[in-house]
A and B are shown apart, each in its own frame.
Chain A
């Protein structure tokens, strides 16, 4: 039976390269196998480097393991810990607070900036503005993080400026203060992601039919009305992409925080990505780290999938 089903397909794959002489039905089936063949290297790599580690992570999350020694099965205990240990829950709360800075500011500000740049599109200033805004994407995050820690230190540029304009009273070590550390890290993230969002939105705006704007203007619409009635609705998809990318960046943030605060002071900037790293490699609690990793993936999906649906449906 197995031979019977195999032989025809093998024949078909041989027929296929000879091209035109094949019958109408045969190449369609053969094509599928050829397709798999071409995809095989990619599938193999994907399986080994993405799928297998994911399955492993799920597997580890059910054990209490230090990475080397024996590992008793603990069922869902690691997951229970993720949702009951105040420190672990705290990291998830911080990640959601970061969404305000990583998504809210870049998307809103990016819209405003992109609209402004579009209006002055032909001037040299627009090109300069685009380049300046995109620079944070080009600079390695580690370098950016270090530069920001200097800017935000107690005798850094931010505090010097504040003192210069008579606001010496509010100066502080921004990254070392319990109240301001998380917002300060958020500002760094916003700075990094603003350029990306602006560029994406600008690209989207260039696709909008100029006739729409002209029609709007003939009907007496001002710049604000144009923005809300033409620009924003037409950018639905681009905004969707921006929000998706930035929300993922917020929930899975690691590098900026690792450089700027390492989770301190007093855990105020600890996020899931950093916590996973500490648990797995410093505390050697591979099980708990894996469980938190799985929870983080689920959280990202839960946040991102509705955004995808919302922005796609009406287009």
Chain B
């Protein structure tokens, strides 16, 4: 008996203690003060000096470009050494806030910046932008990285990150299979593209290899390309940047979702798209398993190596053809608010965009268009390669001002928790095009509101 009651007493004690602890100490985390960091006004261009400096970097695994860039930088500026840590992008995304708060690197590959800016974890780069002249570059290059200090809509305001280059997305095609259906040049209008899909289907070729499995629904690529084909990039960007009152459920987007459903119903996608991940899509496409694939130019270098001369690229044409609009995003890198060598890091970012060797690396190793002024010299690229095709498309988009951010970047969880399940349902015939947009919009509202 006494033993029993003692146990009971201690059990009650633990519960009371827990409750007391929970109630007594305040909430976890720091109370966020509105940032006053407006970006120091600089009068001189910062440099890395002449004393030995070790820059710390946290970059993405599997991208040889950062290694090539940092090596080249050390070659040109021997006093700079690097302390680099690499992880998968998903790992970086999850760890970004903690890393920036607890162990701030000088340079870090970043996911979408808005939540990081809200928590005051990133250095305001306005001072550097002013003194280095970044503001005179084509505005669309840096638009996605601008925000009001302390949070708010993206797309305007202070600069909080930079790009190492900028990627564009579009349609890759297998030239061997294209020849079989008599397609010798990329389609110029959406109608021509539809005709090519139908011909491929008739010829027994899988028209589109596209992943849509797991937590990343790859159908967001064709969907957003179709949105651009039917509408303007402006309203889509407004929605992604969380401008007040923006909606994704617009008439052009409804047409786009409807068009995507027509493709699904016509059987243009691989039958197991909902079980296919990104890696499997790449191996299927490289094995000649399909005519088209919606993807980005980060694969250009890879495809030039694996299927040399056999792959082409074009941005999805609009309804009537003409102006080119597609998703384009900088390979985002930021400087931690508490970085030790912010000036040197900023100097490096400017060097990446303006130094001829660095620009060559951005193209040859990275496969994407370098950042920087519109008239900066472009490195030579062998004609007929995918890289040449994506670079040309990148230049076209800059000219047409047709760049937009990716609909998956609107909030931290919109991709995994809204677009992906909804697109998987659309593919399985369990969701309508209207329902898809309505569901995503309602999720978006709760996420932005909270």
Contacts and interface: CB of A to CB of B under 8 A. Distances in A.
A283 B412 contact: yes
A151 to B, nearest CB: 12
Contacts of B424: 264-266
Contacts of B212: 265
B118 A69 contact: yes
A101 interface: no
Nearest to A279: B413
Contact of B272 (A55, A56, A176): A176
Contact of A266 (B94, B119, B425): B425
A178 B430 contact: yes
Interface string A137-173: 0000000000001001110000000000000000011
A282 interface: yes
B246 interface: no
Contacts of A152: 275
B273 interface: yes
B288 to A, nearest CB: 15
Contact of A72 (B27, B421, B425, B431): B27
Interface string B4-20: 00000000000000100
A58 B14 CA distance: 13
Interface stretch (B28-36, B70-78, B326-334, B347-355): B28-36
A154 B275 contact: yes
Nearest to B274: A176
Given A173-B275, A266-B424, A69 B29 contact: yes
Counting contact residues on chain B (CB < 8 A from A), the size range is: 35 or more
B413 A261 contact: no
A227 interface: no
B85 interface: no
A71 interface: yes
A184 to B, nearest CB: 10
Contacts of A62: 22
A25 to B, nearest CB: 18
B21 A55 contact: yes
B214 A261 contact: yes
Interface in A200-255: none
A68 B30 contact: yes
Interface string B402-425: 000000000011001100111011
Contact of A70 (B32, B94, B97, B272): B32
B215 interface: yes
Given A55-B21, A66-B115, A265 B29 contact: no
B93 interface: yes
B334 to A, nearest CB: 15
B428 interface: yes
Counting contact residues on chain A (CB < 8 A from B), the size range is: 35 or more
A71 B27 contact: yes
B18 A264 contact: no
A301 B420 CA distance: 33
B27 A73 contact: yes
B370 interface: no
Given A68-B97, A153-B275, A265 B28 contact: no
A67 interface: yes
B430 A266 contact: yes
Interface in A33-63: 55-56, 58-60, 62-63
B398 interface: no
Contacts of B421: 264-267
Nearest to A270: B421
A69 B431 CA distance: 37
B22 A55 contact: yes
Candidate in A72, A173, A261, A265 with the most chain B CB atoms within 10 angstroms: A265
B323 to A, nearest CB: 35
A282 B93 CA distance: 8
A263 to B, nearest CB: 6
A284 interface: yes
A177 B214 contact: no
Given A178-B430, A265-B421, A282-B413, A154 B30 contact: no
B121 interface: yes
Contacts of B274: 173, 176-177, 264-265
B276 interface: yes
A51 B213 CA distance: 38
B275 A176 contact: yes
Contacts of B101: 68
A266 B22 contact: no
A264 B416 CA distance: 10
Interface in B113-166: 115, 118-119, 121
Interface in B374-403: none
B271 interface: yes
Contacts of B118: 69
Candidate in B18, B25, B121, B422 with the most chain A CB atoms within 10 angstroms: B18
Candidate in B121, B271, B431 with the most chain A CB atoms within 10 angstroms: B271
B98 interface: yes
Contacts of B450: 64
B119 A66 contact: yes
Contact of A282 (B18, B271, B273, B412): B412
Interface of A: 55-56, 58-60, 62-73, 149, 152-154, 172-178, 261-267, 278, 281-284, 286
What are the nearest 9 A-B pairs in CB distance?
A176-B275, A173-B272, A71-B27, A176-B274, A154-B272, A173-B275, A265-B424, A283-B413, A262-B214
Given A70-B32, A286-B28, 16 more contacts: A58-B22, A66-B29, A69-B118, A71-B28, A153-B275, A154-B272, A154-B275, A173-B271, A176-B213, A176-B274, A177-B428, A265-B212, A265-B274, A265-B275, A278-B417, A282-B412
19 contacts: A55-B21, A59-B21, A59-B25, A60-B28, A62-B22, A69-B29, A173-B274, A176-B213, A176-B275, A177-B275, A178-B430, A264-B420, A265-B425, A265-B428, A266-B425, A266-B430, A266-B431, A282-B94, A284-B97
Interface of B: 18, 21-22, 25, 27-32, 93-94, 97-98, 101, 115, 118-119, 121, 212-215, 271-276, 412-413, 416-417, 420-422, 424-425, 427-428, 430-431, 450
